[in-house]
Amino acid sequence: MADSGTTSGPELLVVLSHRAGTPLRGQLESALRGAVRDGRLASGQRLPASRVLAADLGVSRRLVVDVYDQLTAEGYLTARAGSGTWVSDLAVAADSAPDADDRTELPSPRWDLRPGVPSLAHFPRQQWRRAWLSALSGACDADLGYPQAAGHARLREAIAAYLNRVRGVAATPSTTLICAGFTQGLDLLCRTLRAGGARTVALEDPGLPHRAPIIRRAGLTPLPVPVDADGLVVEALPERGVDAVLTTPAHQFPTGAVLAPHRREALLAWAGRAGALVLEDDYDGEFRFDRRAIGALQGLAPNAVVHLGSTSKTLAPALRLGWLVGPPPLVDRLVEGKFLSDHGAATLDQLALTEMIGSGAYDRHIRQTRARYRAQREALEAAVLRHQVPLRLTGVPAGVQTLAALADGHDPEDLVRRAATAGIALDAVTRYQLAPGRPARSLVIGYGNITPHGIDGAMAALARVMDRGPTARSAAPHAESRARRRGERRPRAGRVRDSVRVEGAV
């Protein structure tokens, strides 16, 4: 059990968010009952304080108190005066939950630390609903016909102004195209570039796994280019034969590096010499925690850079709303591609986003979630230290994921497999690597869709998994330290704490 005494947030969150539409009270009740029955909440385990769970789940405290009372009355939980609510012995005996060791299949992850999603439980449902209804009642008949392939004029205007203001992008409505996320933007770009004679697209290695298949499917050759602490290694780009390079300058995915000023300059100079385009994937540019975000590269060279972004991190990936901003002749060809691909994005969703931006609700939501992700990142840093997990977080504090270098001899893929058996889902960086021969001993940890309490529980569990690992000898100092804290050995000051460093702390 986590030291905080709170371990149940994440799985409850998942259940609540997946079953929207049924009353929250019923959802929470059955989630808790189910967790007690199948042993995820073990006999004698303390539940989070009602205030804490209410904050985690974004529901009222009253609702949590009522649910605890109900399940106490049913015998699943026991209330102990002054010390909170616990899973009762009776419940487990009655339901005879299987012992974890008896299970032959992997449990579904209790702690999901895979990168890629924002906090889905905090999607602004009310604001989106309000914006969508207002879009529906405000839409004229013509809005219900086929959409403009480039995107609704009002959304293009709103996005262009937003990108100007928030990301320093040189955008106008006519250089802005609305598409189904970054993914469709990249697909349209690759097909359009190929149709214009392009052959090769360079891309950062490591990076998002599905970029190379998109590039290949368009008939282009992906060329992996390494990344270091200053972002894309521009010097590794060939002087000839590359038509475009795909990069994440504000926050390299997944290493967390920021493209250094000298590299930004060198990249634009290279693009000029090579006659190549820079494709700027600005997937989480709004979320920097230690300083104002670095402005978009596109603002420096609007004719050489195509800027891509989406609502997948700011709102939710399910919306499939994104945009790209590029030089006018190229955007015209992309609009043609968009038309041929799907005739344009769903108009009512576009108008709802326009409403959210226009009313200020979009900005407010981003401000709130930025504070949330910052707290989650800090919780991860604190949990790594508290549980002496031999990991070193690298990259700037930004976004919803971080690279975590393994500070001892653990093999990342083996560790990911063993972590999965303990209910922790995370990725090895090898999943994101393209070129063999550049193995990095790191994990990629997503902290966007898990509560601070869940993060703490996950790190405690990961520390236990690493203690038991095949490389337990090199992890021994950490194991020893944990044993000391449990009072099993006399402490020897300083030794372990010195070996765990967190870079880029907020």
Ligand X SMILES: Cc1ncc(COP(=O)(O)O)c(C=O)c1O
- What's the closest the beta carbon of residue 210 comes to ligand X, in angstroms? 9
Residue 175 within binding range of ligand X, rule CB under 6 A: no
Using DSSP's 3-state secondary structure scheme, residue 193 falls into: helix
For residue 481, which amino acid is it? Answer: S
Name the one range near ligand X by CB under 6 A: 179-187, 189-197, 263-271, 337-345. 179-187
For residue 104, the tally of other CB atoms under 10 A from its CB is: 4
Name the one range near ligand X by CB under 6 A: 4-12, 14-22, 181-189, 348-356. 181-189
Name the one range near ligand X by CB under 6 A: 40-48, 310-318, 370-378, 484-492. 310-318
Output the residue with the shortest Cβ distance to ligand X. 181
Residues 271-300 that bind ligand X (CB under 6 A): 281, 283
The only residue of 10, 147, 181, 222 in contact with ligand X, by rule CB under 6 A: 181
Q: Which is nearer to ligand X, 39 or 448 (CB)?
A: 448
What sign does the dihedral 165-167-170-174 (CA atoms) show?
negative
Distances (CA, A) of 301 to 196, 235, 279, 372: 21, 19, 12, 33
Residue 248 within binding range of ligand X, rule CB under 6 A: yes
Residues 345-384 that bind ligand X (CB under 6 A): none
Q: Which is nearer to ligand X, 158 or 279 (CB)?
A: 279
- What's the closest the beta carbon of residue 116 comes to ligand X, in angstroms? 4
The only residue of 111, 123, 182, 323 in contact with ligand X, by rule CB under 6 A: 182
**How is residue 352 written in tokens?**
């709802």
Q: Which is nearer to ligand X, 71 or 227 (CB)?
A: 227
Name the one range near ligand X by CB under 6 A: 168-176, 191-199, 309-317, 489-497. 309-317
Q: Which parts of 81-152 are beta strand (E)?
A: 84-87, 111-112
Q: Which is nearer to ligand X, 181 or 222 (CB)?
A: 181
User: Which residues contact residue 471 at a Cβ distance below 8 angstroms, ignoring those fewer than 6 apart?
Assistant: 408, 409, 410, 411
The only residue of 9, 116, 224, 454 in contact with ligand X, by rule CB under 6 A: 116
Instruction: State the Cα–Cα distance between residues 8 and 110, nearest whole angstrom.
Output: 9
Residue 253 within binding range of ligand X, rule CB under 6 A: yes
- What's the closest the beta carbon of residue 249 comes to ligand X, in angstroms? 11
For 186, the enclosing helix (H) or strand (E) is helix 181-195
Name the one range near ligand X by CB under 6 A: 136-144, 155-163, 178-186, 440-448. 178-186
Instruction: State the Cα–Cα distance between residues 200 and 218, nearest whole angstrom.
Output: 11
- Residue 109 C-alpha from the chain's centroid: 16
Name the one range near ligand X by CB under 6 A: 43-51, 131-139, 175-183, 265-273. 175-183
Instruction: State the Cα–Cα distance between residues 92 and 354, nearest whole angstrom.
Output: 51
DSSP codes of every residue in 405-447: EESSS--HHHHHHHHHHTTEE-EEGGGG--STT----EEEEE-
- What are 149's strand-pairing partners? none
Q: Which is nearer to ligand X, 61 or 114 (CB)?
A: 114
Task: Give the binding site for ligand X (CB under 6 A).
Answer: 116, 181-183, 208, 248, 253, 281, 283, 310, 312, 317, 322
